Amino acid sequence: MVMGVDCLTGLLEKAGSTLITTHRHADIDAVASAELLRTLLLRKGIEKVDIYVPEGLSGITIGLLDNLDVGIEYVTDASLDYDLYIIVDTSNPKLLGALAEKIHEIRDRVVWIDHHLAMEKPPGRCFIYGVDASSTIEIVLDIVDQTLGIEEMDDNLLVMALAAIYVETRFLQLATPKTMYRVARLMELTGYTIKDVYAKLPREERDSSERMAIVKAMLRLEGWRADGAIILLTDVSSHHNKVSRQLLSIGGDVAIVYGYKKRGKIHIRAVDGKGELVKHLVKKLGEKLRERGIIASGGGHETIYNIEFGKMDRDELREIIIESLEETVKDLGYRIERLS
C-alpha cells in the first residue's frame, strides 16, 4: 500500500515542469524510479520533466545499465526553476548535491518518495512511502499502476525495474510477499527470469583501496557479545559498506563502522533478526549526538542504516557509539560483555 499519492496528484495538476532528483552517486533503485516516473509524467501531459543526478551515477549502476542496454538522460545543473520537485530514494536533503542549498526555499513544491526509515521528516509538501515496499521502485510501480497501468510501460523500463528490485532487496533476501508479487508480475510482462537479471549484473573487482580499508578495519576491530549476538565495531575512512559486509561474513551479527571522509559517518549493518537492536541503537545514537549539539541525518532499512554529521573528534565518536551500544543492549534486557 502506497501512502501520500493524493498529494502528488494534486500538485501534478498545476505543474508544467518537474525535476526528479536522486541521491548523489545514484544506484539502480534511484535511477529506475526516476526514469519510470519521468515516463509516467510525460505520458500524463507534463510538458518538461528532467532528471537530476547529483555527482553522477555509481560505477555499478553504469555497468548494469550498459548490460541492460538502457540509456538514461539527466541534467547536471539544478539551478533552473521548476514547478515541482520530486526526490526519489532518499529522505536526506544532504544527499541532493547542489539542490540541497535551496531545499528550504522550494519546500512547498517538494515531494519525497522513499522506502527508507528517516531520522527526521525532510522539508517538503508530501512524503510518499510504501508500508510493504523493500525498494523505492516498488512504490513507483504502484503509483504507475494506479494512474496508468504498468503494462503500458515499455519492456526495457520494466526490466530495469525488475533489476532494481533484485539488487535493492539484496537478491530478494529483503523481499516481502508484496515484493514477490511485483517481481512475478514483472517477469510475466517482460519474459525475464531472475536468472536473466543475475546474468546482467556487473562483476565487481576489489581494488587496492578497498582491500586496504578492509585490512585496516580488521586491525582496529573491537567486539562484544549480547544475547548470543556478536557485535563488531571498527573505524575506517572509506568503503564502510564493503567493510560491514566483510564483518558479517566472518561471523558478526551486527557490524558498526564509523569514520570520516568529507563528513562523519556511522554505518550499521545486521543479519536478519537483529533489526530491533539496530532500530533502538540508531535512536540512542541520535539522542547522544543531539545532546552534544551535533546535527545528524540518516536513513536505511531494518538491518542497514547510515548516519551522517559534521566534524567530530574521532575518540569522542567512538565513546558515544560504545556508550549507546551498551545502554541499548541493557535497555532491551540483555547482558553485554566485551570480547577479548
In tens digits, the chain (340 residues) has pLDDT values of 677 888 898 888 889 899 999 998 899 999 999 999 999 999 999 999 999 999 888 888 999 999 999 989 998 888 889 999 999 999 989 889 899 989 999 999 999 999 976 667 899 999 998 878 999 999 999 999 999 999 999 999 999 999 999 999 989 998 999 999 999 999 999 999 999 999 999 986 667 888 999 999 999 999 999 989 999 999 999 999 899 999 999 999 999 999 987 788 999 999 988 989 999 999 999 999 999 998 888 887 778 888 988 888 889 999 999 999 999 999 999 999 999 8
SS3 256: strand
The cell for 121 is 521528516
Q: Report the predicted TM-score, pTM, of the whole model to 2 decimal places.
A: 0.78
- Residues 188, 218 within the same domain: no
Nearest C-alpha neighbor of 244 from the set 226, 235, 256: 256
In whole angstroms, what is the distance from residue 200 CA to residue 180 CA? 20
In whole angstroms, what is the distance from residue 334 CA to residue 238 CA? 32
In whole angstroms, what is the distance from residue 84 CA to residue 7 CA? 12
What's the farthest any 2 CA atoms get from each other in the chain?
A: 64
- Residues 170, 55 within the same domain: yes
In whole angstroms, what is the distance from residue 302 CA to residue 217 CA? 24
Please answer whether residues 162 and 137 qualify as being in contact, where contact means their C-beta atoms are separated by less than 8 angstroms.
no
- Residues 181, 245 within the same domain: no
- Residues 24, 90 within the same domain: yes
- Residues 232, 150 within the same domain: no
- Residues 161, 214 within the same domain: no
Q: What is the number of alpha carbons within 13 Å of residue 215 lying toward its C-beta?
A: 7
Domain end marker among 167, 200, 233: 200
> For the chain, how far is it from start to end, CA to CA, in angstroms?
47
Q: So what's the pLDDT on residue 336?
A: 96
Residue 50 CA, chain-centre distance (Å), reads 21
**CATH classification at residue 278:** 3.10.310.20
Write out the DSSP string of 41-55: HHHTT-SEEEEE-TT
- Residues 152, 56 within the same domain: yes
- Residues 28, 165 within the same domain: yes
Nearest C-alpha neighbor of 163 from the set 139, 183, 143: 183
In this structure, the dihedral spanned by the alpha carbons of residues 176, 178, 181 and 187, taken in order and rounded to 10 degrees, is -70
In this structure, the dihedral spanned by the alpha carbons of residues 170, 174, 179 and 180, taken in order and rounded to 10 degrees, is 80
- Residues 193, 230 within the same domain: no
Q: So what's the pLDDT on residue 117?
A: 64
In whole angstroms, what is the distance from residue 321 CA to residue 282 CA? 10
Q: So what's the pLDDT on residue 206?
A: 66
**CATH classification at residue 145:** 3.90.1640.10
Please answer whether residues 178 and 132 qualify as being in contact, where contact means their C-beta atoms are separated by less than 8 angstroms.
yes
Domain end marker among 200, 220, 246: 200
Q: So what's the pLDDT on residue 1?
A: 65
Q: What is the tally of structural domains in the chain?
A: 2
Domain end marker among 184, 200, 216: 200
In whole angstroms, what is the distance from residue 279 CA to residue 123 CA? 23
Q: So what's the pLDDT on residue 35?
A: 97
In whole angstroms, what is the distance from residue 38 CA to residue 84 CA? 12
- Residues 163, 232 within the same domain: no
Please answer whether residues 75 and 52 qualify as being in contact, where contact means their C-beta atoms are separated by less than 8 angstroms.
yes
Is residue 164 classed exposed, middle or buried when 0-12, 13-18 and 19+ CB atoms within 10 A define those classes? buried
- Residues 163, 25 within the same domain: yes
In whole angstroms, what is the distance from residue 277 CA to residue 249 CA? 19
Q: So what's the pLDDT on residue 150?
A: 96
- Residues 292, 330 within the same domain: yes
Nearest C-alpha neighbor of 126 from the set 139, 137, 145: 139
Task: Give the range of the structural domain holding residue 229, as residue numbers without chain letter.
Answer: 208-338
Q: So what's the pLDDT on residue 265?
A: 92
